Chain A
Amino acid sequence: MKFAGLDTLLPGETGIVGKLETPSFEVRQRLMEMGLTKGVLVSVVRVAPLGDPMEIELRGYRLSLRRKEAEAVKVQTGKS
Chain B
Amino acid sequence: MFRDTVDIGVGHIAIIGNPNSGKTALFNALTGMRQRVANYPGVTVEKKEGKISLEDGREIVLLDLPGSYSLTPRSPDEKIATDVLLGRLEHTPSPDTVICVIDASNLERNLYLLCQIIDHEIPVVVALNMVDVAEQNGVFVDPVRLAATLGVRIVPTVATKGIGIRELKLAIAEKVLPSLRTRQWSVGEPMQSEISELKDLLLNLQNLNETEAFHESVYLLSSPTLSVEQRKKFRPEILAHVQQDHQRLDALGIDRLSSIVEARYDWIQRVCEQVVSRSHRKDISLTDKLDKVLTHRVWGFVIFLLLMTVMFQAIFTWATVPMDYIGQGFNGVGSLVATLLPPGDLRDLIINGAIAGVGAVVTFLPQILFLFLYIGILEDTGYMARAAFIMDRVMSKVGLHGKSFIPMLSSFACAIPGIMATRTIENKKDRLVTILTAPLMSCSARLPVYALLIGAFIPTRTVLGFLNLAGLTLVSMYLVGLLAALGSAWLFKRTLLKSETPTFIMELPPYKIPSMRSVLLQMWNRSMQFLKRAGTIILGVSIILWFLATYPKLGHGTPSDQLQHSFAGQAGHLMEPLIKPLGFDWKIGLGLVGSLLQREVFVSTMGTIYGIKDANESIGNASLRERLQEDVDPVTGRHTFTTLTAICLMIYYVLAMQCMSTVAVVKRETNGWKWPAFQFAYMTGLAYAVTFVVYHVGRFLR
A residues apposed to B, CB below 8 Å = 20, 24-35, 37-40, 45-46, 48-53, 55, 59-66, 68-69
Q: Does chain A have a CB within 8 A of B108?
A: yes
Would you call B262 and A49 a contact (CB within 8 A)?
no
Which A residues are CB-close (under 8 A) to B72?
29, 33
With both chains docked as a complex, state the minimum distance between the C-beta of B53 and any C-beta of chain A, in angstroms.
Answer: 35
Which B residues are CB-close (under 8 A) to A25?
223-224, 257
Which A residues are CB-close (under 8 A) to B508?
55, 62-64
Given contacts A32-B261, A49-B297, contact A60 B107 (CB under 8 A): yes
Would you call B503 and A69 a contact (CB within 8 A)?
yes
Instruction: Tell me the complex Cα distance, A32–B157, Å.
Output: 28
Would you call A66 and B396 a contact (CB within 8 A)?
yes
Instruction: Tell me the complex Cα distance, A48–B397, Å.
Output: 15
Would you call B74 and A30 a contact (CB within 8 A)?
yes
Instruction: Tell me the complex Cα distance, A47–B106, Å.
Output: 22
Q: Does chain A have a CB within 8 A of B65?
A: no
Residue of A nearest to B260 (CB): A32
Which A residues are CB-close (under 8 A) to B112?
33, 35
Q: Choose, from B161-169, B228-236, B385-393, B517-525, the stretch at the interface.
A: B385-393
Partner of B504, one of A26, A60, A61, A64: A64
Instruction: Tell me the complex Cα distance, A43–B265, Å.
Output: 18
Partner of A50, one of B224, B394, B504, B507: B394
Partner of B69, one of A33, A45, A69: A33
Instruction: Tell me the complex Cα distance, A9–B315, Å.
Output: 44
Which B residues are CB-close (under 8 A) to A55?
291, 295, 389, 508
Indicate with 1 or 0, residue by residue over B362-398, a CB within 8 angstroms of chain A CB atoms. Answer: 0000000000000000000000000001101110100
Would you call A62 and B507 a contact (CB within 8 A)?
yes
Q: Does chain A have a CB within 8 A of B70?
A: yes
Would you call B393 and A50 a contact (CB within 8 A)?
yes
Would you call B258 and A20 a contact (CB within 8 A)?
yes
A-B interface, 3 closest residue pairs, ranked by CB to CB distance from nearest: A50-B393, A49-B297, A62-B508
Instruction: Tell me the complex Cα distance, A69–B507, Å.
Output: 15
Can you name 11 A-B pairs with beta carbons within 8 Å?
A35-B108, A48-B389, A48-B390, A49-B296, A50-B297, A62-B287, A62-B510, A63-B505, A63-B508, A64-B504, A64-B508
Instruction: Tell me the complex Cα distance, A72–B40, Å.
Output: 38
Given contacts A32-B257, A38-B258, contact A60 B505 (CB under 8 A): no
Instruction: Tell me the complex Cα distance, A64–B508, Å.
Output: 7
Which B residues are CB-close (under 8 A) to A62?
287, 507-510
Given contacts A59-B109, A61-B106, contact A27 B505 (CB under 8 A): yes
Partner of A60, one of B139, B258, B300, B392: B139
With both chains docked as a complex, state the minimum distance between the C-beta of A44 and any C-beta of chain B, in angstroms.
Answer: 13
Q: Which of B429-467 contact A (CB under 8 A)?
A: none
Given contacts A30-B505, A64-B504, A65-B505, contact A48 B257 (CB under 8 A): no
Instruction: Tell me the complex Cα distance, A15–B300, Å.
Output: 28
Instruction: Tell me the complex Cα distance, A50–B291, Å.
Output: 15
Would you call A49 and B300 a contact (CB within 8 A)?
yes
Instruction: Tell me the complex Cα distance, A51–B402, Å.
Output: 14
Instruction: Tell me the complex Cα distance, A5–B291, Å.
Output: 25
Q: Which of B83-111 contact A (CB under 8 A)?
A: 105-109
Indicate with 1 or 0, residue by residue over B402-418, a CB within 8 angstroms of chain A CB atoms. Answer: 10000000000000000
Q: Does chain A have a CB within 8 A of B8?
A: no
Would you call A66 and B258 a contact (CB within 8 A)?
no
Would you call B257 and A65 a contact (CB within 8 A)?
no
Instruction: Tell me the complex Cα distance, A39–B389, Å.
Output: 27
Instruction: Tell me the complex Cα distance, A38–B261, Å.
Output: 10
Instruction: Tell me the complex Cα distance, A54–B297, Å.
Output: 13
Residue of A nearest to B299 (CB): A49
Which A residues are CB-close (under 8 A) to B506?
63-65
Which A residues are CB-close (under 8 A) to B504?
53, 64-66, 69
Would you call B258 and A51 a contact (CB within 8 A)?
no
Instruction: Tell me the complex Cα distance, A65–B393, Å.
Output: 11
Partner of B392, one of A28, A30, A52: A52
Instruction: Tell me the complex Cα distance, A46–B69, Å.
Output: 24
Would you call A61 and B257 a contact (CB within 8 A)?
no
Would you call A46 and B393 a contact (CB within 8 A)?
no
Would you call A37 and B392 a contact (CB within 8 A)?
no
Which B residues are CB-close (under 8 A) to A49?
295-298, 300-301, 390
Instruction: Tell me the complex Cα distance, A67–B300, Å.
Output: 20
Partner of B393, one of A20, A30, A31, A48: A48
With both chains docked as a complex, state the minimum distance between the C-beta of B220 and any C-beta of chain A, in angstroms.
Answer: 14
Indicate with 1 or 0, residue by residue over B52-80, a CB within 8 angstroms of chain A CB atoms. Answer: 00000000000000000110101000000
Instruction: Tell me the complex Cα distance, A37–B107, Å.
Output: 16
Given contacts A46-B291, A61-B109, contact A53 B402 (CB under 8 A): yes
Which B residues are CB-close (under 8 A) to A33?
69-70, 72, 112, 261
Residue of B nearest to A62 (CB): B508
Would you call B105 and A60 a contact (CB within 8 A)?
yes
With both chains docked as a complex, state the minimum distance between the C-beta of B188 and any C-beta of chain A, in angstroms.
Answer: 13
